[in-house]
Amino acid sequence: MLDLGRYKNLTAFNAAVFTAGGPDTFIGFQSDTLEVAHLTRDVFESLAKVSLKSVLEPQTLLSTAVRENIQELNEWSQQSTLAPLEKKAKTSFKAKSLNINVTQICNLKCTYCAAGGDGTYGDPVKRIEVEKTLPQLKYFLAKLDEGERFHISFLGGEPLLFPSGVRAICEYVSGQANEKGFVPSYKITTNGTIMNDEIMDLLTTYKPTMVISMDGKPEIIDRFRPQKNNKPTSRAIEKTLETLNERRLEIGPLAVHAVFTAQHTAVRETYEYFRAFNFDWIDFIYSVSDENEEANAQYMNEVAKTAERAWLLGGEQELRKIYLFDNYFDRLDSQERLENHCGLGKSFAVIDSRNQIFNCPWTVGQAENRLGQGQWMDEAKLADYDETVIERNRCQPCWAKYMCGGGCSFVHQTTSKSDTLKKSLQFCERTRFLTALSIYYYAKARVESDL
């Protein structure tokens, strides 16, 4: 699929695959410094060929004759404009981002629901007790320094089945922020079928990012995200979006989250449908549990088509409305290497409806992934997360490691110490492809000269 070459910490690819009938375009990437350059054909063809699934680091160039003419490439491989990463001392857990399952009940029954098919995670407790949650939050907030950012994502089930609970938490955290000087932000991930005056007042007061979960055009939504009585949901979601856009200047950012599976890989078509709603950003992801190799390839091809379309419509600005590109552009601009895909066991946690603390949204209800309860944290469990995610998932040889941060530990089945590494090669292949795709557009936007 992607013509890829490597030499030590240099990776290069022919970006022609990313555009319909486009010319050969050779892009190089220095994985230690996160630098990007255009390459000549001679330089590219001198590199050892590898696949997207390979993590091998070829130490020699293929052609001795060519090697003599590309000293600049060798110098690029050896240089490092960034200080070497140092092993960080273990520090105590400090939450800078929390997911709170304010409800564990839902009004839909999505076909791929990760919360037991009904939002409950198999737990009979349907919503959080705010009087227990506020002291728990006080425990986490006390560790924050002045000026630090602190983020809460409200999840479910469907969180907007309990808007008074969301409001009570926002009110408390905002009050603590005014007193202690940290900077709060909020996000609500919702199925978008519920809207009323109480919810709108919540949105205009605290201005959370509103993320609507919808996976495609109306026929796709109604197929994969029906109501419990099997009635369609797409019209209710569109009505909510119409209401939100009428009040757009009064609320926070409006975004959409779409999940693709083997049954639905139409990313380009979905992107075109989403454009009508003027979202601030769009998040496309492939299902964490789907291991269909053909669908994985279709998804990558569809994202490439979508990126080409976005670029033609509005260049970098339009492309960066798609979250993955915005995220990778930021990383390449800052040249800040990412060691941890997420804050697993370090700075991120999930609070369920019983005020139990888990390490990941996908592991709620799993005893081996429980980090604590209420204001108590299991220090023995936390000690398991000393290493970086790159180390935890054995990603050191991968050329995309500092862009990816070691990948999703849930996908690779390493969320707890008892788990055995079972790396998903499809996840890695997909991540490397999307990284290369982002690097290509970054080169179009930022890089001029050739090596």
- The predicted model gives 162-188 an average pLDDT of 98
Q: Are the C-beta atoms of 219 and 175 separated by less than 8 Å?
A: no
- The predicted model gives 142-157 an average pLDDT of 95
pLDDT digits over 44-54, tens only? 988 889 999 87
> 208: pLDDT confidence band, cut at 50, 70 and 90?
very high
> 119: pLDDT confidence band, cut at 50, 70 and 90?
low
Helix (H, G, I), strand (E, B) or coil at 76: helix
Whole-number Å distance between alpha carbons of 323 and 172: 30
Residue 341 has pLDDT above 80, yes or no: yes
Q: Are the C-beta atoms of 132 and 217 separated by less than 8 Å?
A: no
- The predicted model gives 133-141 an average pLDDT of 96
Q: Are the C-beta atoms of 301 and 342 separated by less than 8 Å?
A: no
Whole-number Å distance between alpha carbons of 308 and 296: 19
- Which range has the worst mean pLDDT, 20-34, 65-79, 162-176? 65-79
> 90: pLDDT confidence band, cut at 50, 70 and 90?
low
pLDDT at residue 421 in the model:
87
For 93-144, what is the HEC assignment? CCCCEEEEECECCCCECCCCCCCCCCCCCCCCCCECCHHHHHHHHHHHHCCC
Residue 120 has pLDDT above 80, yes or no: no
Mean pLDDT over the full length of the chain:
91
Question: Is the sign of the CA dihedral 435, 436, 442, 446 positive or negative?
Answer: positive
pLDDT at residue 19 in the model:
87
85: tokens are 């990463």
Residue 281 has pLDDT above 50, yes or no: yes
- The predicted model gives 90-106 an average pLDDT of 87
Residue 314 has pLDDT above 70, yes or no: yes
Percentage of the chain modeled with pLDDT above 90? 76
**97-334 sits in which CATH class?**
alpha beta
pLDDT at residue 124 in the model:
79
The predicted model scores a pTM of: 0.92
Question: Where exactly are the structural domains of the chain?
Answer: 97-334
Highest mean pLDDT among 17-21, 53-57, 294-298: 294-298
- The predicted model gives 76-90 an average pLDDT of 58
Q: Which of 62, 135, 34 is nearest to 339 (CA)?
A: 34
Percentage of the chain modeled with pLDDT above 70? 91
- The predicted model gives 335-357 an average pLDDT of 96
Residue 91 has pLDDT above 80, yes or no: no
pLDDT at residue 89 in the model:
47
pLDDT at residue 227 in the model:
87
State which amino acid sits at residue 27.
Answer: I
